[in-house]
Structure 1
């Protein structure tokens, strides 16, 4: 775990995230099973949000003449955009100075020694805010209960990837949150971190060629996702596994999906 003064910064960021969740009602019963709407939270804080083709920056927190603003790159997957948005929102909520962020924010965590301890306190606070805001304990617990996932299930990279999709965070950020919540140990996280999301995605659709996985996610949906809100990208793929018994009239009809613009290519 992080040591002082990093520990104090992590606690400050965590408390700010939990306080904002409470103030916005994100931890209430009706919302507990859905990913945290970080873009909506920025809007409700009256902070203008812009998307631009930034490179190599992921995002920035701005303040011109006292007026705040957040800018995010369009050149990254949604999970990375959401984490960056939460990081910049943390800068705002914690009243930090303007700051620009590159992809180093995706690779660091308070459970790593060394370089992390040398980060400015504002960056440690914003990192902790982003992690706790996007991946609160109650959201992970709710999704584990809904999907009937045990800690043993989450020792497998493909299950962690599916959890990451549902919470709307990157695979790596989800691993850190599972360690933080004591669902898996640090040793298991290190092993799972070796898995490449691109490999996980292709394994889910072995009969379908994916030229580039950078902006494509692959969702594995079952009956346990009934009633859930699936926030997917326009190019995402869905593997749907549902029970069917034609003798009892228990059949599935996918015409509505096709009429909504989904391309049907495989159902299991």
Structure 2
């Protein structure tokens, strides 16, 4: 059985210090790196558990608190089980998310990838990026801004990935060299069918290797087991697709679980 070590780390950025969680197999060997972008509820025990699960499959995983400018995690006090129908919770979180502009996010991505690729527990070579909810937007942008470093990118129940605004995430498609996978929720008003189609068209026209699937019966946030939107079937399917994507692009046939 693989022993996993999880530890808190601090990442220097252009704007301060981002607190983060690092998980890796405790076997004295470097492993392919994965940057995991949080959902709106932030760095918390459930996301650390997701990082641990990736580490159990042979990866070194970094989960930064992307809202670090507003404080160390937890930035917003959260219950152990999150009812996603609580409007007062989103009233606190939404302004924090809006402050994370594309320019700020790109600066932070530089810092996260620099730290991750220089981590002793990370093997030489490209990294993978995965993101959840708002983290899917960050993952897509990171793949576009760092094509020389990112070989695999995945996003799950991401919202507003292909809007008609001039800074829409899908507009970075022509800069992506990674293989891309998206798992959308079929009950997600933040990512309606027309946006899914626009995203797919942009990736196709840019020649990006990609696959986009809609998970039936799933709501926005379906992978998050500590929320009321959790969908077990969709969450397990997400693990299957994510691990296959990372294995193909970061290790190929050399996977050692």
TM-score range with shorter-chain normalisation?
under 0.3
Higher helix fraction (1 or 2): 1
TM-score (norm 2): 0.26
Higher strand fraction (1 or 2): 2
TM-score (norm 1): 0.25
In our comparison, the structure showing a higher alpha carbon Rg is 1
